[in-house]
Chains A and B, each alone.
Chain A
Amino acid sequence: MVKLKKHSLGIVFVVAFSVFLCRNLFLSPGFVEGNDTLGWIARTGWFSNNNDLFYIWSNWAFGLVQPSSLHIPLTMLNFLVHDPTLVVKIFIQVTVLFAGLSMYFFVYHYTKKRVTGLIATYLFLLSQFFVTRLTSGHLYHFLGFAMAPLIFYTFDRAIISGKFKSITFFSIVVSVVIAFTRLDLMYYYAPFLALFFLFSLAFLPEGMKKRALLGNLAKLAVIGIPMILLFTAFQFFPMLFGVRPEYISTQLTMPWEELKWWSLEFYESFLVLAREIGVQGWKGGIAWDKHPFLSLWQYRLAMSVVPVLAFSALFLRREKWTLFLAISALIAVFLAKGPSEPFEGVFLWLYQNVPFFNLVKTPNRWVMIAVFSYTFLAAITLNATYIKLWQFRESLTRTAKGYRKWLGRLFTPVPLMLVISIMVVPSFGSWYMISPGLGTWEPAEQEVKPHLWLAQEQGDFRVATVPYFQTYMYNEGFWSNSLESQSGGLWSGKPVVWTGGWKIGLSYDFTAYTHQLVLENETDDLMKILGTFDVKYLVIQGYLPTEMESLPIGYDENLQSDFFKKQKGLKEVYAFGDAVVYENEFWTPRFFSPSDYVLIVGGKEAYTKLLPLAGFEYNKYAMLFANQIIDEMGEKQFLKLLEKAKALIFLNSEPLDLAFLNPPMDAIRIRSSEFPLSSNPWGVSKYYTIGREKWTGSKEWIRKGMFVLNNQTLSTAGTDLISKSFGVKAEGRYDIWVKILYGPGVGTLTITIDDKPIGEITPYTPEYSGMRWVKIGSTELKEGAYTITLQNHVRKIDSFPGSMDIDEVMIVKPESLNSRMDELTKMLSNNPKSIMHIIEGDEALKWSANPKETITSAIPKDICNDNQTAFWTNFNPDYVQLEDDTEIKIAEDSQNSLKVSITPGREYFTLLDKRYKSFQDWSQVNYFSLWFKGNNTGSTFAFAVVFNGSYENYVRFGIQDNSSQWRRLIFPRYNPDSSRGTIDWSRVSAVRFQGDDKNFLSEFHLDHLTRLHIESEAGSSAKQELSYSVLRNANYALSLRALTGPGYGTLDVLVDDESQYSVDFDRSLEVNATVIINNDQTGWDSNRPVLLRDTNVIINDNQRAFWTNLNSDYVQLENDSEVKIAEDSQNSLKFDIIDPDRKYATLLEKNYETFQDWSQDEYFSLWFKGNNTDSGFAFGVYFNDSYEDCVRWGIKDSSSEWTRHVFSKSNPDYVCGTVDWSKVWRVTFIGHDKNLTDEFHLDQIERAQDIEREPEWEWFTGQSMFLQAGDHTIKLQSEGKVNFDQVVLYVLPEGESVEYTELLSAEGNEAKVTSYQKINPTKYEVRVNTDKPFFLMFSESYHAMWKAFVDGEEIDPIPSYSFINGFYLTKTGEYDVTIEFTGQRYLYYGGIISIASLLIAIAFAVLDWRGYLPFSRRSRICKEADSRQ
C-alpha cells in the first residue's frame, strides 16, 4: 500500500484519463462509436445467445471457421453482465486503465522515475495509434498494443532470471496475445524481442555472464515455447489439422498496391501517424494529411515533437533500453512505410521471402513498436529537461545574489510550464478525437424493428438485407458496422447474408456474384437463388446504401431497393416506417435433397444461364462445378460422379477446359495466384483501391460469374511485365497455352521464356466473350529451371485501355495433350447420358476470333465540339449558367469550351440534356471521349446515354471531380458504371450530363465530346464461324434461343458446312391484342411488352376534368392517386357505377371544340383496370360532328389487374358512317351493360404513329446429326437483325429425339428430408427417406471437415452449388444421418491440452514459489541453511 501511495499521481492520472475518454459510454445505453465496434457487440451477443462460444464453426452468414479471439473473454463477461454493449464498454474502460498503468509501471521500473513514467503514460495513451484503435473499433489490436509493456517486461525478466515462474509468466502473456487478440499480432513483437535479446547480450547486467544469458534463452526456448504452444493448443491444434479461417494462410499475398494502400509514406510513418485515422476524415477532417485547425506544416511540426524528444534521449543515456528502443523505432518506421519509397523493394523482398511475413497485411501497424519506443524515450528526455531546468533554477537561487536570485525565483514555474507546453503539442494528433470522449449512438427504430420482428419467427432460416453487400454504414458523422451485415443478427439471432469481413472464400465469392447480379440488374430470380440456400426473409432496411462497395460511384442510389422490389417470389409480411420485411416463397430449408445433379464445366453464371431450361430448378438439380470437384477430390471422384449425373454441361467452355482441369503429368501448370505479389485476397473492387497499372490479382470476372479456374485472375491495364520461374523435368517440345479473356479494349500479350520470344496475342472481340485456352507458341525445353515472362503492351491507339486478364498458363507437350484428349473421349464415351454444350451469343465470339487479329484503327466522330451552348439544353436554367468559353479550351485550334456554373438548390440531377430528333445508331461505337476540367471538389458527375426515347432506359458513366486540370475521360460503351431498362445502342435518343448532388456549388468546363469506333479485322460480320470440339461420337441436335419480333431477320446454321436449318425470327405484331401488365407498379418498365412510337397523349392525369359523366346520378368519377399505372403518374380515373339501370350505355365522353386531326396516328393505347366481371366495354371515336360516324374497339373486363389495350385504326371492332380521321370531334368510353354496378379504373390514353412488339425469346431446334469426337465448325449466317443468346449442342440419347427444353425436365423427387435437428453449430441430426441414392444438400459453407455419418460410415462432402456441402448418400429407406463438423474435435483435444497444461504450469509455479521443487529458490536457500547448520 505504501509502495502504491508514492505512485498515486500516476494512478490518478490514468484513472482520470480513462474516465475522461470513456465518460459518454456509461451515460448512454447506445452502441460505442467506431467502425468495427458494433461487430464486437454483435458477436458477443450472438455467442451468448446461441451458447456456442466454444464451437469453432459459427453459423454467421453461410457459416465459417471462427478461431478463438477476443470474443471469448467478452462473451464470458457477458454471461455475468447480460448486455453485450455494456461488456464492450467495460472492456474499453478496463483496457485503457490497463494500458496506462502497465506503461507507467514499466517505465518507472526501468528508470526509477515517477515523472518519467507519468509522461510516458501520457504520450502512450494520447498517441494517435492507440486512440485510432478505438475509433476504428480494432479492439484486438487495442488490447494487443496495451500489452506491449507487459510483453517486453516479462521477456526481460525471463531471459535475465531464467526462473520457471518468469518463463511461465511470459508464456501466459504471449498466450493471451495469441489466443485472445489476433494470431498475427505476436508477429509484430517477435523480431523486436529477438533484437532485445541481442541487446541484452551486448549490455549484460552487472555480474552476469553471456553464457548464463544464453542458458536462460535456451531455457526459455525449451520451456517457454512449448508452454505457449500448450497453453494455446486450443488455437493451434485445430489449425494444425486444417481447421482455420481462410484468411490465415501463408499462401495469400497482397498486391503491392494494396500493401501501399494500408501503409503511409515514409515521412508520415516517421511521425507515427496512424493509417486508420483515415476514417476520421469523414467526421471532422482529421487524417494523416489534414487537421481540423492546424495547417499541414503545423500538423507535421506538432507530430515531430515526440520523435525529436525521443531521439534526443540518446544525448542523455547510452544504455540497453535507450539504444534498443531507438533502433527498434527506426526499424519499425522503415517497415511501417511498406512498399513506399525509399527502398520499397526491401519490404517486398521481405514480404516474399521471409516466412510468415505475409501474414502481416497492414504494414502501418508496425508503427506500434515505434510509438512504444518514442513514448518511453521522449519521457526520458522530457524528465531530464525538467531536471536540468530545475537544477539551473536551483543554481540561480542557491548561489546568486540580488537580481539574479530574484530571477531564479521568477524562474521557478518555468521548468514545469515548459515541460507541460511541450507535452500539449503532440496531443494535437489525437486530442480532436479524445476531447469529445468516445461517442455512442443508437440506430433508428425502423432499422431495428424488422430484426426484432424476425426474432419472433420460429425456425431455422437466413435473412438477406438491403443495402445488400454492405459492411459499413455511414452513420451520423462516422462509419460503423452496417446494421444489415453481421449486426442484424444481434437482434434477430438469425444469420444474415453478408460479405464476411475478410472478403475471401467460397461463400464470399457466391455473395459477391449475387451482388454483381444486383448491380447489373441481371435477373429477377435472385430470391430463387438465395432461397435455395435457406434465405427465407428479405429486409429492406429503409435507408440507402452508403458504402462504395455496396453501391459503387455512379450507380443510382435506389438501384438496390428497385432491384429487389421487382424480384419474383417476395411477399410483404411486415413494415415499419420505410423498412419492409418480405417473405421469400422460394425458401428451401437448410437441408434439402435435389432429385438429380448436373456437372458443369463453367462458372457461376450457370445460376442464370441454366434457368431458361424448362424444368430446371435449383433445388431439384444440384449444380456441381467440375473444377471444384477435381481440385478438391481429384478426377477419380469426378468420373464417379459423372456416371450418375443427369448431364455434363459445358457452359461457355470446351472440352479443352476439362482436359486442363487435370493436366497431363508432365505438364507445368502455373496458376495466376502463383505469380509474385499478384494475389488479391480482399477481392477489392475496381471502385476501391486497386489501380491497374501493374499486374495484380483481380476478382472482377469471378464476381461476374465467368469461368475462372482460380480464385482470381492475373490482370493489368498497363504496360507491365511479370515473371515466374518453373522447372522442367523432361526434355522435349512444349506448347505454351494461356487461358485468357477475350474482349474489347484489350492489350497485346507477349510471352517469353528465358528471354526467348514464344508468341503474342491480342485477344480482341467486340464484346466480352469470356476466357478461352489459346496456344501462344511452342519451344524446346531441356531439364532445368526457366523463367516465363508475361508482358502486356497497351496499344498506341487513342486512349485505348489495353487491359489483359489471364487465368492460368499451361506448358505441355503436344503429344501429352493429345493423349489426354483421347483419354477423355474414352472416359466420356458412355457416361453421362447427356452432354450439353451451351454457348452464349457474346461468348461465341471467342471461338470465332482469330488469335492473331489486331485492331487497326480508332475513328473518332464528333458528338459535340464547339458552340456547345447551342448543343445542350440547360435543365436548371435558374441554377446553372452555360457559356461558350473562348479562353479556357483544350487546344488552340478549338474555338471554345463549355463553361458550366452551378449553384445549389437545383430541381434536377440532370444538368445538361441533348435530345436527338431521330434515333442514333451507335451500335458500332466502342468508346466515348469527353474532355473535362473540374475544380478538384470531389463531386461526382455522370455522362449518360438514353435509349428508345425513354429516360428509364440509360447507361451512365461516373466522373470524379478530383483535379483542376483538363482530363480526357474515356468511357467504354461495354462497361458502364450503371445501367437501367432496355439498352439498345441502335436507338440512342439522348445524351445527358448529370451531377449526383443537387446542392453543390461548382464550376467546370466540358469540351469535345466524341464517340470512338474501333474497327477490327474481325468486325461484326453477319457471318460467324465457330471452331468447336466435342468429346463423344454420337447423334447431336443443335438448338438456339433467339429474339423474335417484327423486323428480325433469318439465320442459317451450318455444322461442318452441311446445312442444318434456317430460322426466321420475324414476327409481325397482332394488334388489338390485350396486353396484361403486372399490377405491381414497379413492373411498369420491365414488363411492357409493346413499344409505342411517336406518341401523343390524349389524356393522362386529371381525367376527372377531361371526361364528361353522362350518367351522373349513377356513376361517380374521381381522380385516384393511389391506384395508378406508374409511380410517376399522378392519378388514374376511378369510375364507380353505383346504381343499375342507368340511362346511357356511354359512360364517359369528351367533346372537342375543334376537329382533331388524328390522320397521322395508327394506334391507340388505353389502360383499364376492371374487376373481372366479364362485362363488355368499348372505346369509341366520332367524326364529322356526327353521332353516326364512328369507330369502336371492344374491351372485355376479364381481369382485375391493370391491362393495356392497344387498338389499330385499320382493325376496329365496329364502324358506322364515314370515317374521317382528320375530323375527330368526340371520344367515348362505353359500358354495354347498363345494369352493371362495380368500380373500374382508366388511365393514360395515347395515340401512336407506330408500334412495335417487344421482342421475345424463342427456342429453335434443328435436325439430329452425327458428329465424330473432335473439331467441328459451326457457321452462323444471318440476314437482317439477329440476336441469339444461347446455342446448345447436345448429345441425343440413342434412337431418341429430344427437344432441348425437355432435356432437363424434372423427374419426381424420390428422396425426402423428413426432419432435422440442430444439436449445436457443429452437429445436426437429419432424418431422410429415399428409394434411391441421392444428394443430401447442407447449405452451410463448404468445408472438407463437414462429414455425414450413416450407420457409422463417414461420408465426405462434395462442394456443391459452388459453395455448400453436398453428401452423396447411397443407402435407401428411412434413416438418420448425422452431419458433423469434425474439426470441432481438434478444438476439444486442444482445449483439454490447454487447460491441463495451464493447471500444471500454475501448480509448478506455486510449488516453486513454496519451495517444494528441488530447483526452486526457497528450496535452495533451505538446503544452504541446512548445510550451514
Chain B
Amino acid sequence: MNWDILILGVFVLFTVVSLLLKLDYRFAIGAGVILLAVAPFNIVIVEKEIIARQVALFSYYFLLSGVVVCLVSYLRGDDV
C-alpha cells in the first residue's frame, strides 16, 4: 500500500475518532506544534534529514486534524 495514503488514512481516522469522541482539538494542535518544533533536531540527533521531513509531515497532519476538529466542534457548539 502507498505509504502516503496509509499515513493520511491514519490521520483521517484519528480526526473522525476525535470528532466522535469529542476529544479536545488542542491535543492534536499540541502534538503538531511539538513535532514541528522538534523536527529540526532530527537532523542533528539522528543525522537524517529525511526523518526531520517525516516528522514535519506528521506535524502538518496533526495540525490539519486539530484545525478541522476545532472548526467542527465550534460549529456544533461544543464547549472547550
Q: Please list the residues of chain A having a beta carbon within 8 angstroms of any beta carbon in chain B.
A: 202-203, 265-267, 270, 295-298, 300-301, 304, 307-308, 311-312, 314-315, 318, 323, 326-327, 330, 333, 341-343
Contact = CB atoms under 8 A, between A and B. Distances in A.
30 contacts: A202-B74, A202-B75, A265-B53, A266-B57, A266-B60, A267-B39, A267-B52, A267-B57, A270-B59, A296-B49, A297-B40, A298-B40, A300-B40, A300-B43, A300-B52, A304-B36, A304-B37, A311-B32, A311-B63, A314-B66, A314-B67, A314-B70, A318-B80, A323-B67, A323-B71, A326-B63, A326-B67, A327-B67, A330-B60, A342-B7
Interface string B50-80: 0011001101100110110011001100001
B42 to A, nearest CB: 8
B60 A333 contact: yes
B32 A315 contact: no
A330 B40 contact: no
Give the top 10 A-B pairs by smallest Cβ distance, nearest first.
A300-B40, A297-B43, A301-B40, A342-B4, A297-B44, A267-B56, A297-B40, A267-B53, A314-B29, A308-B37
B49 A314 contact: no
Interface of B: 4, 7-8, 25-26, 29-30, 32-33, 36-37, 39-44, 49, 52-53, 56-57, 59-60, 63-64, 66-67, 70-71, 74-75, 80
B74 A323 contact: yes
Nearest to A333: B60
A300 B66 CA distance: 23
Contacts of A265: 53
A705 B57 CA distance: 47
A270 B62 CA distance: 13
Find the residue from A295, A314, A323 having the highest chain B CB count within 10 A: A314
Contact of A307 (B26, B36, B44): B36
Contacts of B30: 315
B39 to A, nearest CB: 7
Contacts of B56: 266-267, 270
A330 B70 CA distance: 14
Contacts of B7: 342
Contacts of A202: 71, 74-75
A300 B39 CA distance: 8
A325 to B, nearest CB: 10
A330 B66 CA distance: 11
A266 B71 contact: no
A342 B57 contact: yes
Find the residue from A202, A203, A267, A270 having the highest chain B CB count within 10 A: A267
Nearest to A319: B74
A307 B36 CA distance: 8
Nearest to A302: B40
Contacts of B53: 265-267
A318 B40 contact: no
Contacts of A312: 29, 33
A297 B36 contact: no
A304 B40 contact: yes
Contacts of B43: 296-297, 300
Contacts of B49: 296
Contacts of B40: 297-298, 300-301, 304
B74 A341 contact: no
A318 B29 CA distance: 12
A203 B77 CA distance: 12
Nearest to A270: B56
Given A327-B71, A333-B60, A308 B4 contact: no
A282 B21 CA distance: 53
A1126 to B, nearest CB: 55
B37 to A, nearest CB: 5
B4 to A, nearest CB: 4
A381 to B, nearest CB: 10
Contacts of B52: 267, 297, 300
Contact of B26 (A267, A297, A315, A323): A315
Contacts of A308: 33, 36-37
Contacts of A315: 26, 29-30
Nearest to A202: B75
Contacts of A270: 36, 56, 59-60
A257 to B, nearest CB: 20
A317 to B, nearest CB: 10
A314 B7 CA distance: 24
A178 B7 CA distance: 40
A311 B71 contact: no
Contacts of A203: 74
A301 B63 contact: no
A308 B75 CA distance: 25
A301 B37 CA distance: 7
Contacts of A318: 70, 74, 80
Contacts of B80: 318
A343 B74 CA distance: 29
Given A296-B43, A297-B43, A314-B29, 11 more contacts: A203-B74, A270-B36, A297-B40, A311-B36, A314-B66, A318-B74, A330-B63, A330-B64, A330-B67, A342-B7, A342-B57
Contacts of B33: 308, 311-312
A312 B8 CA distance: 23
A961 B16 CA distance: 51
B21 to A, nearest CB: 19
Nearest to B42: A297
A342 B60 CA distance: 11
B67 A341 contact: no
Contacts of A266: 53, 56-57, 60
A1228 to B, nearest CB: 78
B52 to A, nearest CB: 7
B41 to A, nearest CB: 7
Nearest to A326: B67
Contacts of A323: 67, 70-71, 74
Contacts of A311: 29, 32-33, 36, 63
Contacts of B26: 314-315
Nearest to B47: A297
A1173 to B, nearest CB: 78
Contacts of B60: 266, 270, 330, 333
Nearest to B32: A311
Nearest to B59: A270
Nearest to B30: A315
Nearest to A299: B40
A854 B66 CA distance: 59
A302 to B, nearest CB: 9
B66 to A, nearest CB: 7
Nearest to A334: B60
A833 B41 CA distance: 79
A297 B64 contact: no
Contacts of A304: 36-37, 39-40
Nearest to A342: B4
A304 B56 CA distance: 10
A868 to B, nearest CB: 37
Nearest to B63: A311
A1390 to B, nearest CB: 42
A330 B65 CA distance: 11
A323 B80 CA distance: 15
Contacts of A342: 4, 7-8, 57
Nearest to A320: B74
Contacts of A314: 25-26, 29, 66-67, 70
Nearest to A313: B29
Contacts of A296: 43, 49
Given A267-B56, A307-B36, A343-B4, A295 B44 contact: yes
Contacts of A341: 4
Nearest to A381: B33
Nearest to A314: B29
A323 B63 CA distance: 11
A426 to B, nearest CB: 13
Nearest to A312: B33
B31 to A, nearest CB: 11
A342 B36 CA distance: 17
